[in-house]
Structure 1
Amino acid sequence: MKKLLLQIFTWWNEQTIGTRFYTWRFGKRVGQDEFGNVYYEGGMSTYGLPKRWVIYNGYAEASAIPPGWHGWMHHRTDVPPSQDNYVPKDWQKKHRPNLTGTAQAYRPPGSLAVPGERPRVTGDYDAWTPGS
């Protein structure tokens, strides 16, 4: 019952009732990534491209889509990683969740959350003043 209520009243927990119905009606399962996110395709967008969407495993966070699936979702490739034996490049980093709003978020020196002063401005910038 709790899961049903979450699907009716929230959009950030896996999927909504509307997405569940649309997926049941038109969706063709394409694959699943290492995080448990499930990818679907079905129907046509207004641009004439096939609609592609993801059902997140848990909290809906767009940065949790791996690079291979990101390319497929954005129509950079027509072959999904599940059918392509996709191997990430050496330079591609592992997923890190978005830490904004948490204690681990990046806070540069001089920000309100970190004591200290900002680095001094170098001479390569002149502020604009009216009439100059």
Structure 2
Amino acid sequence: MKDFLIEIFAWWRGNTWGTRLWTALNGVFVGTDEFGNRYYRSRKIGANGRERRMVIYAGGLAEASTIPAGWHGWMHYRTDVPPTEEGYVPRSWEKPHRPNLTGTAAAYRPRGSLLAEGERPRVTGDYDAWSPE
């Protein structure tokens, strides 16, 4: 019951009933990625001459870093064909998808930061510290 009420009223969390209703009435299902995110396009072309592209995130929390590279290109109009229709094959230089790890124990911490081990590197000669005169 709690999740149901949160989905109705907590729009900042991600998927709401309004989003689901609008997508059901105006969207055409395009495909699903390996994380369970579902992708839609609008039935009509908008005033800007393009279709609207939408994603319903798996798990309820709207986290844009869970969109893989192929779907990211489609969502941002870099390609007109979604990965499900094209048979998307990642390029040899593309790394596998990793979620946003900010705020977790696995987040990137450079050497010398307060939360990492090691000593902060010394400043090289190309930097002059500011001091008020």
Q: Normalising to structure 2: TM-score of the pair?
A: 0.84
Counterpart AA for 1:80: P
Partner of 1:32: 32
Partner of 1:54: 55
Alignment gaps of 5+ in structure 1: none
Q: Give me the CA root mean square deviation.
A: 2.2
SS of the residue corresponding to residue 119 of structure 2 reads coil
Find the aligned partners of 2:68 and 2:49 in 1 and give their Cα distance.
25
Partner of 2:81: 79
Find the aligned partners of 2:53 and 2:11 in 1 and give their Cα distance.
17
Counterpart AA for 1:108: P
Match of 1:88 among 72, 87, 90: 90
What is the Cα deviation at residue 92 of structure 1? 1.1
Find the aligned partners of 2:130 and 2:46 in 1 and give their Cα distance.
46
Alignment gaps of 5+ in structure 2: none
What is the Cα deviation at residue 13 of structure 1? 5.6
Find the aligned partners of 2:129 and 2:116 in 1 and give their Cα distance.
26
Counterpart AA for 1:92: E
- Range with greater deviation from structure 2 (42-51 or 78-87): 42-51
The count of corresponding residues between Structure 1 and Structure 2 is 131
Q: Normalising to structure 1: TM-score of the pair?
A: 0.85
Q: Among the aligned pairs, what percent are the same residue?
A: 63
SS of the residue corresponding to residue 54 of structure 1 reads strand
